[in-house]
Structure 1
Amino acid sequence: AEKAIDKLGIHTAGTTTTWLAEPYNPLRPLNPKFAELVQSSINHIYSDFTGKAAAARKTTPEKIDEVAQGRVWTGTQAKERGLIDRTGSYNDALLTAAKRAKLSDYRISYVEPEMSRVDKLFELLGAQTAKILHDQFKVALVPTGIAPAAAQQIANDFSWLNEVNKGSNGYTALTHCLCTAP
């Protein structure tokens, strides 16, 4: 990302107070300390996984690593390599879980978050209608999942952009650190 952004002529500068300040900022090179931290975490998770898989398969973590090596296998490939006993469907997994829990009479409930009014409107209108509203009337309907108070605060925070655009001849140079409200 750093090279692509440089090609576009986008540059950034600044100072941080800690090496963990901007670990995922694509405008800055990856900090070697952070890269080491991430790799250490990956190694720990993989070691934990191979250890648990080895215990379940009654073998050693080294033998699991020989086969797995951090790769992703399909169910069939995993079975061929001795990593799993069998493949199954979601329903098979539910039946097995019920059996292990010694449940003979059970039901499955799917809990979904309640839809917002905008989401309900989108469902009624359909995506095509929302697109027509936007194209014809410049009405943008987007399900944000952001609480109304938070959305209003965001709108207030960026209202200064509207002021910059008013009376503009199409070209405006603007710089702001965004460390305080403009």
Structure 2
Amino acid sequence: MPTTAPGIHRGLAGVVVDTTGISTVIQETNSLTYRGYPVQDLAAQRSFEEVAYLLWHGDSRVPIMQAALDALVARSADPRTARLAALHAALREAMLERKGIHPNLDYPAGLAYHLMGFGTPVFTPVFVMSRITGWTAHITEQLAHNSLIRPLACYDGPGQRPVPGLSPSTA
């Protein structure tokens, strides 16, 4: 009885595409991210086990930050804090259940910043301050090896702006 070989389909005709919480194609930079990390960085700097962990569990730093947030919530006597934390947890679980998206490190950090008294306008500067040492290390390593480790990017946004509500002496 003769069998027919499966046909070869060229191109993407008939390929089903959907959204995913695991990877993102960024057309403007012709790049791909996996759980928010550029795939070039993962391939060059991470082990198979680390990348597999991202697939199953998301960012490995999140549980540590979540524990710190939980400690802040537990120390608060304000009932609004408990309600806010419950809403925060429900949103995290809904995103995981409905979209398969694990939170990144900044999700628990945002509520922690709020509970520590930081105003929303300083969340981004705090984020930057926490990463400046790592960014500096990458630049130093790139200069030492005379090669780029990360794709080149050029900031073309607005110049330095004041933080609302802060005077230059308190910033």
Instruction: Tell me the TM-score normalised to structure 1 length.
Output: 0.23
From the CA coordinates, give the structure whose radius of gyration is larger.
Answer: 1
Higher strand share: 2
Instruction: Tell me the TM-score normalised to structure 2 length.
Output: 0.24
